[in-house]
Structure 1
């Protein structure tokens, strides 16, 4: 289950690396904060425990490790106390600052890295990103933490997956690495032709490149998320915002945003998930009305 604490991201304020089209231009998140409080976050997690078979909560955003109190430590501690595994999905830019308050409650740290060196990784995420990534890996490895990695690609950078696989294999020799998620551009949310020009290339080339590195990182599950055409649906995903709003990625890349299903705090989680599946199976039906809140993340 994905719990969205906020949809802000500190990477958007970083300086571009030389030759970069702009920091995280591949991003499809909409920028709106989730307004919540500690008691609400605990209630949301309690309902996930009571009304689902989920064993892990992925804490995500935007980036959940932001320089303001989005109740991340409260949420992680409560989820861990209820027996959930916890996955902190972060770019890691502020991880060292908040690590002392997080470390006892995080099962898995999922870090973003898009290339095997600073020239490539910084092109995607801003000057200095790769150095911070390397420092985070060293910190987490030294503390015996479990890691995972996620990578975005272009038609150029995908050719460097073997080198990035070598980097990840080296980390896996030092600590447990659970998975590596490799993605193409996702043309939804804030899509535009410029992004498609930068990140768009043949899905077949992407899939072949990922398949070529699968066996080079033994013990690490490698997942591929290729770009889809408008009529080729993504896998179903549900997202819970920390204020209790439930949204669903119903699969259409043509959709400008996720369907807002309602609030689990008033309607419960299970009925909303059932509603999401019904909408996916009957795509011509209108989605539930947005109850006047800011758009949910896509």
Structure 2
């Protein structure tokens, strides 16, 4: 169903109303919404209530204009946790953007959550996030770290994109955490986080980030370190590391926090891309690191960097 070419004067709108709930055997539903479609904002509550009555539904793509409508849907649907979501929660300019993070997978991702232009931490988002395999967190306010959503709610994530969250300072705060965190995550893309200072703070339980294969940073000006103490030991499957336009980066692997680093600290790394890092002095303090799997290195606009792998 498409709302992309429907406005308030369209008689076709009446066709859509009160018909979804009658499709009792419906298994797959995709609702396409145009950017800034005010009509959709007006009818989304009614449509979500109709969708909530479908007991045979297994696959759903739906755009919630606000958390309040999402809460109603969760409350009224007895089946939503069993859906294979392309599950969108969006506001404003992000309404019709396709999932970028899902393209990474060679096979279908079951449950996806796009949470855009939200504010603070809401219990409904936590509940949906706990079932999600992919997350896009876009332009949210009042969130200082991803772990504020609860580390247990991140266990099923295999792919994560965080973009334009202007207050986020770190991804995971590990202080006081003993359980494994992000053990299923394969790809993380971090873009345009002006206050981000680190990926991880505090202790790192063994097994955390153990499946991470791709790690990409773009435009994080306050980020000074990539691999804090203990983090690099968890990344034995990391294949692709990319850091671009992060003007605060001075070292990729911090010497002071990685004493006794093994020579094959990143045994699976195939691709290393470092672009426009004006303060980068070193990847590691010397040439002791081995790169047994490295196939491609792209380094440009890093004027202070003297040693290359």
Q: TM-score, normalised by structure 1?
A: 0.31
User: In proportion to residue count, which structure has more strand?
Assistant: 2
User: In proportion to residue count, which structure has more helix?
Assistant: 1
Which one has a bigger Cα radius of gyration? 2
Q: TM-score, normalised by structure 2?
A: 0.30
